[in-house]
Amino acid sequence: MLKSLRAIEAYREGEWPAGEGYPWLEYIVQAEQTIVNLERVESLQSLAQQNPVLDYVERSLRVLDSLPLSYWIKELAEETLIWSETAKGGTLRQRRSWQEEGINIFVHNIGSAELYRRYAEGMKQDEAGSAEKRRVIHTLIETHGLIGQQIRGEVPPSVNLPLSALVEQGLLGAEELERLLFALNHCIIAAVSPELWQEVRLQVMELIAVIASGNLQPEVPMKERLRRMRAGSIAQGEDYETEWDGLVQEGFLPAALEPLQPATFWYVESALQTFSLEQFLKVMSLVAGSGPLQLSHLSHLSFEAVMNSIHYDYKGSKKINVYKKRIIEKYLSELGWEEIYSGVKPSGSNPHLTHRLRGKEHLPDTLFFQFEFSAAAEKLIEFCMEAEKSALYERAVLLLFDLFDLRRDAFDRFHNEDTYLSQMNDTADYKAVILDYVTGGKVLDIGPGGGVLLDLIEERMPEVVPVGIDIASNVIEALRQRKQREDRRWEVLQGDALNLKDYVEPGTVDTVIFSSILHELYSYVPLDGRKFNHGTVAAALTSAFDVLADGGTIIIRDGIMSEPEEERRRVRFLEADGMAWLERYAKDFAGRNIRYEQLGEYEVLMPVNDAMEFLYTYTWGEEAYIHEVQEQFGYFTPSQYTAFIQQTLGDRAKIEVLRHYLQEGYTEALENRVVMMDDNGQAVPLPDSTCFIVIRKDGGRNSVLAGR
């Protein structure tokens, strides 16, 4: 067993290893601050209960111990591995002292190499080895991990020149360097993930051969380096080339990123991988535009602060802090390319968020990028995170929406977004009936959600070109990535349903579909300063009618209210907290006044439509409450809908189908939670929840009004 492994085992058993020569272990175990790449960490909570740096060093040494290597190669590799993470260790006082002495502890390979050099110079030659040996080890520590980082695009090829110099100066033979680097990178990468090592093994071998030959490739273009940094996003379906070209058309200047060519990037993928390519390139452009004085000495660019602030623990698992992420996304969306290149912030920008590029004293070659939230915003975000565990959550999130002027219809459902999109995709059977009424070759799906309807149209109607339009950037980003992954032929556009003619040519669309989306526009989108506004529904229908070709159709599947409206229902709660749910809902719901008369501890008398509006939210449960309480599902009765369509769209709008029904699933979801009764206390079925309407744009032909 390696001597260093025996030392670690002794420490773990509560004994300090006998003898001297273990300052590397001392530095690591004294770490008072966790410094780790969060990319592969599952839980931040667990970091407080372990020493992730020591764990990683031990894993790398165990890999080394298992390799069949010569004594000389193994000795060099062992000394390199035990020192290569030391700059992440030390007490806070030690770390401050190191910084003051100019040791770059934020670039851990450089800092660790300097700590080793100081240690080796203080040792006797026979203890530390010859000057040549010390120089080899110092170089190996200084370039620790850079081969993997070059593969990821985080460093330029020139950073590995010191390794080639070991051969040129006769300190190592070319073959010897290859064996040593292969062993080291095996240990370094396999300690992160054995699967990752198998994935990149051949690339590592090729790169090592180039380094040993001294024929390092010329500088990799920034576009290619950035592509490698987007590997995770590309694997998820990002169409890097197409999106890059599209951004160039919008004003992105690739040449503006060239000042970043010499830089080594730290923690960039962990910090920015969940942002879109546009947002990623805007961040890089903000850095590149920070000024020639700052960039003239730039060797290292760190996103560690972004990485640390964008992750947190949610129910024991590491999660992206979507509160911060959505706010940052909005901040970046308001920065146009011209503003980025001119350095002028847009007027009216939110005072609670800005970006900073900072240096640190004694480190002239290193810059640190971060997003800075105001103290009030930080406290509010912390409040939202804490309120996740309580009934205060919805109020906390509403405060956050208001502080940053976030569009609530464009905001995802935080931690249950994946579940939500999955549930939307599970509605395929309900949505399939829509296909019977699709006409023509070009179809717009407004608010496509998870893309289930786009999939159905593509699979069952190969002659049709389906296009999804959504206002939410995160929905569009997810759909574009899935389109790329699954090689789908449908298209998606980010756009406003109230102004469709800004995105598609009027008269060119054959079918417009509003599947469970009009009630969201009604609830979330203000018109003339007012939400829950029938005028918003009118604007959406008019927008769709304007782009329809003659003979084209609008298909609506959405909520409906019962007739007659004055009907009442008795609701008996079968759960102890049911009455508290109703009281809470009536207080929080802003769509209209929810009326009820309490008849007993668990029973109320309510207007039928108020009862159903409440039960829609009650069905979804606590986690969805914050979103469902903001939405009014039913906003017209059938006769009101008919009159509204005719008044809004005029004589050319022919209603061919208008029917309504109870959506399957509500009865089963509520049967053990409530009993619905009439005025006399007799159990009755739930009323209809959903309408299905088909409107045809008359092009001069006669149309038939279908019955319900």
pLDDT at 707 over 60: no
Instruction: Report how far residue 467's alpha carbon sits from residue 440's, in angstroms, rounded to the nearest whole number.
Output: 13
418 confidence band (pLDDT: 50, 70, 90): very low
Average the pLDDT over 45-56 and give the result.
Answer: 77
Tokens of 279: 């947002």
pLDDT at 219 over 90: no
Cα-Cα end-to-end distance for the chain? 82
Pick from 39-48, 307-316, 438-447, 632-641: least confident? 39-48
C-alpha torsion sign, points 427, 429, 432, 433: negative
pLDDT at 49 over 70: no
Q: What is the predicted pLDDT for the residue at 630? A: 83
Q: How much is the mean pLDDT over the chain?
A: 87
Q: What is the predicted pLDDT for the residue at 289? A: 85
**Helix/strand/coil for 549:** strand
Answer whether 371's CB lies under 8 Å from 377's CB. Answer: no
pLDDT at 60 over 60: yes
pLDDT at 653 over 80: yes
Q: Say what the pTM is.
A: 0.74
Percent of the chain with pLDDT over 70: 90
pLDDT digits (tens, 9 = 90+) for 13-33: 888 887 767 899 999 988 877
Question: To which residue do tokens 């200084």 refer?
Answer: 142
Average the pLDDT over 409-415 and give the result.
Answer: 41
Q: Is 472 left (phi over 0), alpha (psi -120 to 50) or beta?
A: beta
Q: What is the predicted pLDDT for the residue at 625? A: 81
Average the pLDDT over 373-389 and give the result.
Answer: 83
Higher pLDDT, 622 or 542: 542
Q: How many CA atoms lie within 13 A of 476 on its CB side?
A: 19
Average the pLDDT over 471-478 and give the result.
Answer: 81
Instruction: Report how far residue 75's alpha carbon sits from residue 70's, in angstroms, rounded to the nearest whole number.
Output: 8
pLDDT digits (tens, 9 = 90+) for 156-202: 999 999 999 999 999 999 999 999 999 999 999 999 999 999 999 99
Instruction: Report how far residue 131's alpha carbon sits from residue 136's, in angstroms, rounded to the nearest whole number.
Output: 9
Residue 548, phi then psi, degrees to nearest 5 = -70, 140
pLDDT digits (tens, 9 = 90+) for 115-146: 999 998 887 655 556 889 999 999 999 999 99
pLDDT digits (tens, 9 = 90+) for 290-305: 765 566 778 899 999 9
**Helix/strand/coil for 357:** strand
pLDDT digits (tens, 9 = 90+) for 244-288: 999 999 999 999 999 899 899 999 988 998 899 999 999 999 999
Average the pLDDT over 31-39 and give the result.
Answer: 72
For 91-102, b/e burial (b = at least 16 CB within 10 A) is eeebbeebbeee
